Amino acid sequence: MKKSIFRIQVLLVLCMLAANAIYAQVKISVSGNVTDEKTNEQLVGASIVVKDKLIGTTADINGHYRLEFNADKDQALLSISMVGYETKIIAVSSAQPVVNVSLKLNMVMAKEVVVTASRVPETILEAPVTVIKMNALDVKETPKENYYSGLANSKGIDIITGGLIYQILNTRGFNDITNSRVVQLIDGIDNSAPGLGRPFSNLLGTPDVDVERVEVVPGAASALYGANAFNGLINIITKDPFTYPGLSVQVKGGANHVDGKYHNASLYNDLQLRYAKVIGKKFGFKITGAYTRGTDWTVTDSSDLAPTGGYDGFKNPGRNANNIYGDEVAGALPLGPNYEPVVISRTGYNRSDLVDDITYSFKTASTLSYKFSDRLQLSYTLQYGQGATSYDAYDLKNVWQLSHKLELKGNNFFVRSYYTHDEGGDAYNAMLSIIKFNESWKSSGQWFGDYYAAFKGYIPGVTPNDFDAARAFADIGKPVVGSETFNHSWDSIISLPIGQVDANGNGSGGGRFKDQSSRIHTEAQYDFSKLVKVADMIAGGNIRSNIFNSNGTVLIDKPGEPININEYAAYIQATKELFKKHLKVIGSIRYDASDNFKGEFTPRAAVVFKPDDKNFIRASYQSGFRLPDPLYQYQNIDLGYARLIGFLPAVDNIYHVKDLTFTKESVDEYKSAFDAYLMNPANNGDTAAAVDLYKEMLKKEPWGYIRPEHVKTFEIGYQRLFLNNVLYIDVNYFHNLYEDMQVSENVIKTKNGNPQSEESITEAGWSIAENSQMNPTLSQYSIGVNSFNTASCDGIETGVSIVLPKNYLVSTNFTYIQSNVTSEKDIPGFCTPKYKCNIGLSNRNIVKNLGFAINWRWVDAISSWNNTPSNVVAVNNSLPAHSTLDLQLNYRIKKTGTTIKMGTSNLTNNYYQDYAGGASVGGLYYLSIVYDGIFN
């Protein structure tokens, strides 16, 4: 099958090359000036591109352009564009050597061209689904500290701030810190970490100075982009060296933690560089680099996640607190009245003492491009990114990613192949590390034994029946943070890979994950519109090989024996305009297959109705799916108190979980009933009778092996231009139905017995009865499974933009989302504020060369982060509503191509959290100088 696919790809490439070599050529030479229609000001950097060709140029410092090319006919079309202006299409010929062009200011983006929604160019008005676009001028003028954060001010987008320079984009119901349901592309390269299956967001992404535009499709995009474009697609397109030659430099300095509330005031530094040049007419190159450094936001939430037995917060002896690691290790000791069990947890350490608060990002890229002709261009790109950040228990120190891409493209096709490799650097899991650390200075068996002895009064000098006194005794010998003993042991554990022993062959490994995974991806697309007369048609496909290599630290692979998984896909899309182009009908379907899962078809059907040039109505229906990420498939991490494992046959063959385990809920219910029976004096402590009476409460693990998630989504939208295009309204409604959602479940394997027979269940009942911290007879596993229930999400997203006199632009958007979980369990990450609102005011020229932008964002409260059902003990993980105010002022010195910008993200320094347990995000204040030297 692989050979057949390869032959088809080679044949497709040859057909593309042949199709692009049969046209006759007419030489056209044209030059002129590009100016503002109203002010007659030269538009430096305006783009002049030959329609349907891979050739273009940029207006120089005087607004002048010159272009020479071969045309198919005596006449050709030029597309002249400039961010912030309406694109103009003009006809040129060899008889018309001078063509001056004036462009009209366009502050409403509805007519801007996008390619992501349908994989072909179309305006936002004509797109069949919602598309959010940020162009190069928006990138430059966002009041946020970078363009990626600036996306939060768009409708329907949630940004979770995992760290100062680590933001995660979510859409339509999900608000997940590890969002693997959104695909992020940078010039066609999947930016997710191959071994984790999760995007690094902009930590290892693209610097602002090289971003031409960002296009976001909220919701499912699997019909054109494959499996994991399940709940959104971010498409980042960088600047081509032929279209954007020149030098750009950005120097930015700032500060956060300015009030010293959670951390001392800290500096923020950002340096970016881009240089591009065209040599002759055929060769172009560019080099980019960026370095950002600062101090991360501080985690302050230490709320109790496990209130039990009437205890809560600091009074809870079994406390499992947010951002305190090590207290996850807990067990029941017979310390209550009548020896009833009381949950006791080990003493942990604060996250802030374990995770470095210095964050940085270094990223660089180089592109070499060669034009064989006006229709054929070959390019090679090298991307490298390295950084440090943290989220939850992960300290991602010095992680890096390297990509190589080779791409051949024409005016109606592309073929690209890329290789991506990532390295875990010095990254470690702080929670796992501190669990290992605690075991190194005192084993849990000994610690719980000491606690029990002290509480029961067996230790002289220790007050009996006192939880605090018992804990203090059990903690004797606990290393103090910052001490030589602590530092030596801690550094050893976080440098030792998970699951690997030390130099003396001792221990069960440390907390470092050693990821060295890779991805090889080849894809192609061809536009058959000139060959097929019935409809406009595109078709394409891809082959991907994943090499999961964790060196045995987080997956079941072994050092030198990575896991290889292949994926295949093909898609086709047809578009037909009817009734004098008033109705556009689009149909597409894609087929994806993987070595581990059966093939999936994902269709999409859409219509766009345009009764006139001002009104646009769109409707679409599509399905999508998401493959389980590598952790859900092959995970293998021993936490000490439990083991995290993937749920595929390859993993189950090792641990035999599927047929030999009970649900943790049923074990807990059995143990509770068993203990209550024995505590009743009337039963005379008859253990055998208790086992026989309650063993039927034990339930076998009911889930099958992990499968892909599925979504079906319907969207209808309306866009309208009013008042000579100065007022723009966009409103849409969507309904998403989710099935087979991936959740984590805990199961228990007993030392003796299993669910296979009545006799075996009895043996299991005895094992559960005999279990204690001093005599463990149970093993706990956390597995990734598919929920039996469904979830749905309904939403309304609206956006309004109006241009006021003197070019003041008011933009506002409002998002309403209702998430419905028809499940007894929560779905991780399926929780988003019900209401969100943005109101912005901007003017790029208040007075000569002075502009500003201000945005107010309000986010509704989240009453319960985990969507905990009413019949389950609720954990208070609510987040209050919050608002932020972002502001920037910029002054342009046109003679030198320099812009001075002063701005702030969260002007009032109002601290807030984007997710339960997350960092408290305050204000960031900055000053930047940007130089843009455009030359040919």
> Distance between CA atoms of 800 and 814, rounded to whole angstroms?
9
Backbone torsions φ then ψ of 140, nearest 5 degrees: -70, -30
Q: What CA–CA distance (Å, rounded) separates 916 from 807? A: 41
- CA–CA separation, 744 and 762 (whole Å): 27
Question: Tokens in use for 374?
Answer: 């006006």
Read off the DSSP letter of residue 879.
B
Q: Is residue 549 over pLDDT 50? A: yes
783 beta partners? 645, 745
Burial of residue 310 (CB within 10 Å: 0-12, 13-18, 19+) is exposed
pLDDT tens for residues 697-732? 999 999 999 999 999 999 999 999 988 888 999 999
Q: What is the pLDDT of residues 638-669, one digit of tens each?
A: 887 889 999 999 999 999 999 999 999 999 89
SS3 453: helix
* Summary mean pLDDT of the chain: 88
Residue 824: pLDDT above 60?
Answer: no
Q: How far is Cα 59 from Cα 45, in angstroms, rounded to an integer?
A: 5
Query: Does position 9 have pLDDT exceeding 70, yes or no?
Result: no
pLDDT score recorded for residue 823: 52
Which has the higher per-residue pLDDT, 51 or 268?
268
Give the pLDDT score at 161: 87
Give Cβ neighbours of residue 440 (< 8 Å, ≥ 6 apart): 489, 493, 507
pLDDT at 589 over 60: yes
Express each pLDDT in 131-167 by its tens digit. 999 988 899 999 999 999 999 899 988 888 888 998 8
Sign of CA dihedral 35, 36, 41, 46: negative
Each residue's pLDDT tens digit, 560-581: 899 999 999 999 999 999 999 9
Higher pLDDT, 214 or 771: 214
Contact call for residues 317 and 467 (beta carbons, < 8 A)? yes
User: How confident is residue 868, by pLDDT bands cut at 50, 70 and 90?
Assistant: very low
- For the cut 60, the answer to whether the pLDDT of residue 20 exceeds it is no
> Structure pTM?
0.90
